[in-house]
Amino acid sequence: MNRIIPVATIALGLLLAGTTGLFAQPVSPEDAAYGAADYATYCATCHGRDGKGNGPKAGRGNKPADLTVLSQNNGGQFPFIRVYNLIEHGGETRQHKRDGMPAWGELFAGENSPMNPETALDTKINDLIEYLRSIQVKNKPPSQTK
Ligand code: HEC
């Protein structure tokens, strides 16, 4: 898995140049649609169809996160780097537990076979992030968040 880190880091830098500079950048509907399909395939079992963490595999060990409040919990800004790394490397970047968030880097790098692995990985994660950005709840006043 380590083999893909440097390339992903470079790709991430390029992505960030496009993402953080304009963090109000609108979601790309086309990318988000690809991301939604992948989300249904890989993520909904734990995080739920609605992203709120109540999928059929939720509840054993770690509780899957509510993915609709990532921006809200980060001062209204989508935590791009953290989410990108977490999808690629799994929950070991936080706490490695059984039933924790799996790593998807190797699987994604092997898909979309006409693409090279780095592009395939990067495309998958980016599309997923576009989808996740599209399901963020609007910020609530701080008094209502907890
Ligand atoms: C086997 C169940 C499982 C699957 C499948 C899964 N996750 Fe998770 N995910 C978790 C758990 C449990 C956590 C919280 C604890 C942790 O980080 O280990 C989590 C945390 C996250 C977080 C961090 C949220 C935060 O507030 O920090 C993100 C983002 C995330 N998952 C995205 C995804 C995406 C995208 C997919 C599909 C590619 C996915 N997950 C598939 C179980 C899962």
- With vertex at residue 15, the alpha carbon angle to CA 9 and CA 18, rounded to the nearest 5 degrees, is 150
> What does the pLDDT read at residue 91?
76
User: Residue with structure tokens 């060990």?
Assistant: 61
Residue with the smallest CA separation from ligand 1 atom 32 is 87
> What does the pLDDT read at residue 127?
96
Domain residue ranges in the chain: 1-17+63-138
Rg (CA), the chain: 15
Per-residue pLDDT of the chain (146 residues; tens, 9 = 90+): 445 555 555 555 555 544 444 455 889 999 999 999 999 999 999 999 999 999 988 866 678 899 999 999 999 999 999 999 999 988 754 444 556 788 899 899 887 667 888 999 999 999 999 999 999 998 665 555 44
> What does the pLDDT read at residue 93?
43
How far is 106 from 121, CA to CA, in rounded Å?
Answer: 8
Residue with the smallest CA separation from ligand 1 atom 24 is 65
Q: Given ligand 1 and candidates 47, 68, 73, 122, which is best to mutate, with the most ligand atoms within 8 Å of its CB?
A: 47
> What does the pLDDT read at residue 102?
85
Quick check: pTM over 0.85?
Answer: no
> What does the pLDDT read at residue 1?
46
Helices in the chain by DSSP H: which ranges? Answer: 5-19, 29-38, 44-47, 80-89, 105-109, 117-134
Ligand 1 center–CA 6 separation, angstroms: 23
How far is 92 from 30, CA to CA, in rounded Å?
Answer: 31
Q: Given ligand 1 and candidates 31, 92, 101, 123, which is best to mutate, with the most ligand atoms within 8 Å of its CB?
A: 101
